[in-house]
């Protein structure tokens, strides 16, 4: 059956893991179905991807080298569900990825005999050899053991095998070793790939918890979410689509095709109503190419014109190596053991202390009558991670960073944590270069404009919180925010956001981050509502 124009499937399993078609059979089937792009994403192995590449990709079919890594749900998120991280455009022969997958495969091999022994203790005459025969030479997993149980007549279907014996909390279940979620994301990035959170429904999170969890994954460098999936009903698709847009995540989709072991799921169409459009592949590919191009910009020190950063700071280093060190993230040094300078963590430690002293100096001078607690809260609002990251963006620090490949591919040059730490390292570098007076001067130039005229005003600067409290108490409605557009180069983007209250009060704001743009938009709506002085 021919597909609609532009159908793709970016989630397919082969005999290399727990599918029933070989990689070559998958390629042939995809061609027959007129799919435009596919990804073979076997569990914890790249053998299916390698076999497909070695056999040759049919003309007219785009092939994405892939993998699906089982990962632990990190604390403090609830751990009742399961987490899988898809990796697209990976280098399947990247050594660190290969080593990590080998550990997972060995753990799986160690797990299988334990499952078999439990089944045998329940009176079922099934052997590991029978499961291995069913796997056809690929890695053996629970689906193959389930098929062996069906073949021997102990259950009627593989679903029944899982429900009665193999699923979590059932009689023959054995726990599985998984990588941490952060490690899975890092490995995919380091291999040149794009990590994507697979089938989010399986996490079993409430919408609010899922949003927070995806935010955490994005902070680690994950750029995508699998929105289109056979088990995602229309309401789920709409919810996940909205989350992806709010978090600026790429949208992907796939059938999770396994062949005969999941007969109700078909390649390309899932349960019959799945349609993943080609444009999602195009966006994924464009993002991958852009990220790879950007990654190269954060590797070679001779390409760094740190004079531009000195100009933005208003300070020229007597020892330029200190500024280079301040821009050097630990991921760069880890990947370049022959590097002749160190990373910026020691300068960051020093700069944090210098920054706090300088801001304390300014506050003590400006607010001579206020209590220590008030000054501490105000200082915290001025030197928090988000505030420092915004200052770093205004200086263009992101474009000057030295990052490892994985961190660069994860767009570390725009992560709040890295930007804030690097800015503190700059302050530490200035202090080391010429002492406290010059460091204080630079810090004052950057921080003083942010200090309110009165201590009480500091709390008023969170315009989104103020707008929400006003709208809910007076209008019984929650404000909504929408990203309208973004412009400028990746290292110096400007975002435009729109805030709306009850469809009657709408205004737009700008900022160097989406959060800053939303704050500005919220302030404009507060002005419309008469709750903020326009001056």
Looking at residue 199, what is its pLDDT? 98
Q: Which pLDDT tens digit goes with each residue over 423-457?
A: 999 999 999 999 999 999 999 999 999 998 776 54
β-pair type (37-40, 7-12): parallel
Looking at residue 396, what is its pLDDT? 92
The mean per-residue pLDDT over the stretch 253-270 comes to 94
Looking at residue 456, what is its pLDDT? 54
Q: How far is CA 455 from the centre of its chain?
A: 37
DSSP assignment of 400-441 = G-B--HHHHHTTGGG-HHHHHHHHHHHHHHHHHHH-HHHHHH
Looking at residue 493, what is its pLDDT? 80
Give the number of C-alpha atoms closer than 13 A to the C-alpha of residue 482, restricted to the C-beta side.
8
Q: Which of 67, 61, 68, 64 is nearest to 27 (CA)?
A: 61
Based on the domain organization, do 341 and 489 belong to the same domain?
Answer: no
The mean per-residue pLDDT over the stretch 60-84 comes to 93
Active site residue 424: yes
Q: Which long-range CB contacts under 8 A does 272-277 form with residues at least 24 apart?
A: 274/228, 274/229, 274/230, 275/4, 275/7, 275/228, 276/7, 276/8, 276/9, 276/10, 276/228, 276/252, 277/6, 277/7, 277/8
Q: Which pLDDT tens digit goes with each residue over 341-365?
A: 799 999 999 999 999 999 999 999 9
Based on the domain organization, do 88 and 201 belong to the same domain?
Answer: yes
The sign of the CA dihedral 147, 153, 156, 159 is negative
Based on the domain organization, do 389 and 467 belong to the same domain?
Answer: no
State the CATH number of the domain containing residue 503. Answer: 3.30.160.20
Please state, in angstroms and rounded to a whole number, the distance separating the CA atoms of residues 344 and 349: 9
The pTM of this model reads 0.65
The mean per-residue pLDDT over the stretch 179-199 comes to 95
What does the mean pLDDT of the chain come to?
Answer: 90
Based on the domain organization, do 499 and 442 belong to the same domain?
Answer: no
Based on the domain organization, do 257 and 370 belong to the same domain?
Answer: no
Task: Report how far apart, in Å, the C-alpha atoms of 324 and of each of 184, 316, 339, 429 are.
Answer: 30, 13, 12, 9
Residues of the binding site for Mg(2+): 348, 421, 424
Based on the domain organization, do 51 and 191 belong to the same domain?
Answer: yes
Instruction: Given the residues 9, 44, 424, 520, select the one marked as catalytic.
Output: 424
Q: Which of 167, 133, 170 is nearest to 151 (CA)?
A: 133
Give the confidence band of 3 by pLDDT, cuts at 50, 70, 90.
very low
Q: What's the DSSP call for residue 472?
A: I
Q: Which pLDDT tens digit goes with each residue over 464-513?
A: 878 887 887 677 677 889 999 888 877 678 889 999 987 778 899 998 88
Active site residue 163: no
Residues 6 or more apart whose CB falls under 8 angstroms from that of 354 comprise 427, 428, 431, 436, 439, 443
Based on the domain organization, do 405 and 485 belong to the same domain?
Answer: no
Based on the domain organization, do 308 and 409 belong to the same domain?
Answer: yes
What range defines the domain where residue 490 resides? 462-528
Residue where one domain finishes, among candidates 456, 490, 515: 456
**Residues present in the chain in total:** 535
Within a 10 A sphere around the Cβ of 335, how many other Cβ atoms?
Answer: 15
Within a 10 A sphere around the Cβ of 339, how many other Cβ atoms?
Answer: 14
Token pair belonging to 247: 């978090």
Evaluate whether residue 185 is within a structural domain: yes
Residue where one domain finishes, among candidates 456, 485, 513: 456
Looking at residue 2, what is its pLDDT? 40
The mean per-residue pLDDT over the stretch 380-399 comes to 92
Q: Are 223 and 258 in contact (CB under 8 A)?
A: no
Q: How many domains does the chain have?
A: 3
Looking at residue 457, what is its pLDDT? 47
Q: Which of 247, 248, 208, 251 is nearest to 228 (CA)?
A: 251
Token pair belonging to 311: 């100009």
Looking at residue 445, what is its pLDDT? 96
Residue where one domain finishes, among candidates 437, 456, 475: 456
Strand, coil or helix: 158: helix
State the CATH number of the domain containing residue 317. Answer: 1.10.1520.10
Instruction: Given the residues 47, 352, 407, 433, select the one marked as catalytic.
Output: 352
Based on the domain organization, do 332 and 276 belong to the same domain?
Answer: no
Based on the domain organization, do 98 and 229 belong to the same domain?
Answer: yes
Q: Taking each helix axis from N to C terminus, what angle separates 47-55 and 23-32, rounded to the nearest 10 degrees?
A: 60
Residues of the binding site: 348, 421, 424
Q: Which pLDDT tens digit goes with each residue over 78-123?
A: 888 899 999 999 999 999 999 999 999 888 888 889 999 999 999 9
Based on the domain organization, do 469 and 521 belong to the same domain?
Answer: yes
The mean per-residue pLDDT over the stretch 246-272 comes to 95
Based on the domain organization, do 116 and 238 belong to the same domain?
Answer: yes
Looking at residue 337, what is its pLDDT? 79
Q: Are 103 and 44 in contact (CB under 8 A)?
A: no
Give the confidence band of 261 by pLDDT, cuts at 50, 70, 90.
confident
What stretches of 202-344 show up as alpha helix (H) in DSSP? 207-219, 234-247, 278-296, 306-313, 320-326, 330-335
Of 63-67, 316-320, 454-458, which has the strongest mean pLDDT? Answer: 63-67
Task: Report how far apart, in Å, the C-alpha atoms of 335 and of each of 101, 190, 298, 339, 519 are.
Answer: 20, 10, 12, 9, 38
């Amino acid at each position: 059956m021919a597909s609609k124009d532009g159908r793709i499937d970016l989630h397919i399993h082969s005999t290399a893991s727990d599918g029933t078609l070989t990689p070559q059979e998958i390629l042939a089937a995809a061609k027959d179905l007129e799919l435009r792009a596919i990804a073979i994403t076997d569990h914890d192995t790249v053998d299916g991807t390698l076999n497909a590449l070695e056999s040759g990709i049919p003309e007219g079919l785009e092939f994405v080298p892939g993998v699906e890594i089982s990962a632990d749900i990190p604390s403090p998120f609830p751990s009742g569900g399961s987490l899988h991280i898809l990796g697209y455009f990976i280098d399947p022969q990247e050594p660190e990825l290969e080593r990590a997958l080998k550990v997972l495969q060995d753990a799986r091999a160690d797990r299988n005999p334990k499952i078999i022994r439990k089944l045998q203790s329940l009176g079922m005459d099934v052997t590991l050899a029978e499961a291995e025969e069913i796997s056809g030479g690929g890695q053996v997993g629970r689906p193959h053991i389930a098929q062996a149980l069906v073949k021997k007549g102990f259950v009627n279907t593989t679903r029944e095998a899982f429900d009665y014996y193999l699923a979590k909390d059932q009689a023959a279940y054995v726990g599985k070793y998984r990588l941490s979620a952060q490690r899975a994301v890092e490995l995919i990035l380091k291999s040149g790939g794009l990590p994507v959170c697979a089938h989010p429904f399986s996490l079993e999170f409430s919408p609010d918890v899922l949003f927070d969890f995806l935010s955490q994954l994005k902070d680690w460098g994950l750029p995508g979410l699998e929105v289109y999936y056979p088990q995602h009903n229309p309401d789920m698709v709409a919810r996940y689509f909205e989350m992806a847009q709010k978090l600026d995540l790429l949208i992907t989709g796939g059938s999770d095709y396994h062949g005969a072991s999941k007969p109700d799921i078909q390649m390309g169409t899932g349960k019959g109503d799945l349609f993943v459009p080609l444009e999602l592949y195009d966006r994924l590919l464009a993002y991958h190419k852009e990220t790879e191009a950007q990654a190269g910009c954060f590797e070679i020190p001779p390409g760094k014109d740190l004079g531009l950063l000195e100009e933005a700071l208003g300070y020229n280093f007597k020892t330029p190596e200190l500024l280079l060190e301040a821009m050097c993230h630990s991921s760069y040094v880890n990947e370049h053991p022959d590097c002749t300078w160190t990373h910026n963590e020691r300068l960051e430690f020093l700069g944090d202390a210098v920054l706090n002293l300088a801001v304390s100096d300014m506050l003590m001078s400006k607010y001579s009558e206020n209590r220590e607690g008030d000054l501490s809260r105000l200082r915290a609002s001025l030197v928090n991670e988000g505030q420092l990251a915004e200052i770093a963006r205004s200086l263009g620090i992101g474009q000057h960073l030295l990052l490892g490949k994985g961190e660069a591919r994860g767009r570390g040059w725009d992560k709040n944590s890295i930007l804030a730490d690097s800015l503190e390292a700059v302050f530490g570098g200035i202090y080391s270069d010429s002492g406290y007076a010059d460091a204080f001067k630079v810090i004052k130039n950057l921080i003083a404009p942010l200090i309110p005229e009165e201590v009480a005003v500091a709390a008023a600067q969170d315009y989104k919180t103020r707008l929400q409290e006003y709208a809910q108490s007076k209008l019984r409605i929650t404000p909504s925010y929408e990203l309208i557009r973004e412009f400028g180069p990746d290292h110096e983007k400007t975002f435009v956001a729109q805030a709306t209250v009850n469809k009657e009060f709408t205004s737009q704001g700008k900022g160097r981050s989406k959060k800053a743009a939303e704050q500005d938009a919220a302030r404009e709506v507060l002005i419309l509502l008469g709750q903020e002085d326009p001056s």
